[in-house]
């Protein structure tokens, strides 16, 4: 028996994690994002693409409460996220890996992971299985790691929060190719095998599109294109027009 339109709608609402409507935000009086609408369902992954300076990082920072919201709504699992203090957003199920990584430099790798741990499927052992280098360097201080190892640690620490949504801001930027391959494999596994919801900002579009189910393209703070990732990957001319060489 086919499901009725009403039951399909109820299921979509029930599985929706994040809903953004008419969002305008920025820093102080300066607007970076304008009238952004975005919805993400449980288990869905979205690549956020665009040239430098178009608002990709600002979108993630706004979800985490780090910017000034001028207009619009952000709802998280049906509740008003704007009412949740930024320091508490990790506790409602948001895991953020910013460009700066923000690991604790004087703590060991293991301490960095366990100090933020929350109960759930992501345990120390599982994170170390995802990134074996972290197991090898578990006693090393955060500031004694290479850039790639610090990025693995930042992702692992976010996973230790057992988030419902992982926000990744250019996790493969500036890393050696062998490390990029390892992190790419790990994030792809989170999406395909762990069914984790992900918002991924990545400058190299081909990497992001090979991971995420769907994609949006930002330009001057507005969403100018939405599609599934496979369609955009198959149309390099369109991709080039939207974001330039990748």
Residue 113: strand, helix, or coil: helix
What's the rounded Cα separation, in Å, for the pair 195 and 191? 5
Q: What's the token pair of residue 29?
A: 């009086």
For residue 118, give Cα distances in angstroms to 96, 111, 175, 188. Answer: 15, 14, 29, 23
Residue boundaries of the structural domains of the chain? 42-68+85-243
Task: Assign residue 74 a region (left: φ > 0; alpha: ψ between -120 and 50; beta: otherwise).
Answer: beta
Q: pLDDT (tens digit, 9 = 90+) per residue, 129-155?
A: 999 999 999 999 999 999 999 999 999
Q: Do 150 and 140 form a contact (C-beta atoms < 8 A)? A: no
Considering the domain 42-68+85-243, what is its CATH architecture?
A: 3-Layer(aba) Sandwich (3.40)
Which of 116, 156, 112 has its CA nearest to residue 132? 156
Sheet of 165-169: strand order equals 94-97, 165-169, 197-201, 45-49, 214-219, 222-228
Looking from the CA of 157 toward its CB, the CA atoms found within 13 Å total: 25
Which of 41, 45, 35, 29 has its CA nearest to residue 73? 35
Which pLDDT score is estimated for 2? 35
For residue 106, give Cα distances in angstroms to 103, 139, 146, 157. Answer: 9, 11, 14, 15
Which of 14, 18, 26 has its CA nearest to residue 74? 18
Q: pLDDT (tens digit, 9 = 90+) per residue, 32-55?
A: 999 999 999 999 999 999 999 999
User: Sign of dihedral through CA atoms 235, 237, 240, 242?
Assistant: negative
- Measured between its terminal Cα atoms, the distance across the chain in Å is 46
Q: Which residues pair with 165 in a beta bridge?
A: 94, 197
What residues of the chain score a pLDDT lower than 70? 1-14, 245-246
At which residue do the structure tokens 């109960």 appear? 119
Which pLDDT score is estimated for 246? 56
Which of 134, 188, 191, 199 has its CA nearest to residue 160? 134
Which pLDDT score is estimated for 15? 79
């Amino acid at each position: 028996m086919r499901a009725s339109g009403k039951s399909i709608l109820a299921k979509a609402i029930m599985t929706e994690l994040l809903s953004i409507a008419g969002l305008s935000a920025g820093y102080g009086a300066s607007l970076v994002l304008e009238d952004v609408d975005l919805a993400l369902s449980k288990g869905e992954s979205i690549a956020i693409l665009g040239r430098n300076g178009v608002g990709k990082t600002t979108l993630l920072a706004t979800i985490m409460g780090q910017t000034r919201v001028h207009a619009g709504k952000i709802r998280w699992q049906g509740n008003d996220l704007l009412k949740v203090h930024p320091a508490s957003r990790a506790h409602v199920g948001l895991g953020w890996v910013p460009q700066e990584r923000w690991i604790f430099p004087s703590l060991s790798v293991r301490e960095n992971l366990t100090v933020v741990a929350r109960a759930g499927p992501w345990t120390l052992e599982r994170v170390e299985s995802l990134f074996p280098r972290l197991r090898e360097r578990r006693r090393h201080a955060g500031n004694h790691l290479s850039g790639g190892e610090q990025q693995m640690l930042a992702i692992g620490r976010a996973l230790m929060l057992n988030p419902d949504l992982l926000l990744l801001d250019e996790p493969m930027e500036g890393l050696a190719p062998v490390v990029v391959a390892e992190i790419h494999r790990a994030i792809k596994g989170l999406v395909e095998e762990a069914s984790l919801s992900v918002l991924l900002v990545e400058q190299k579009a081909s990497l992001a599109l090979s991971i995420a189910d769907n994609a949006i393209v930002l330009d001057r703070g507005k969403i100018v294109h939405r599609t599934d990732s496979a369609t955009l990957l198959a149309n390099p001319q369109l991709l080039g027009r939207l974001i330039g060489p990748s």
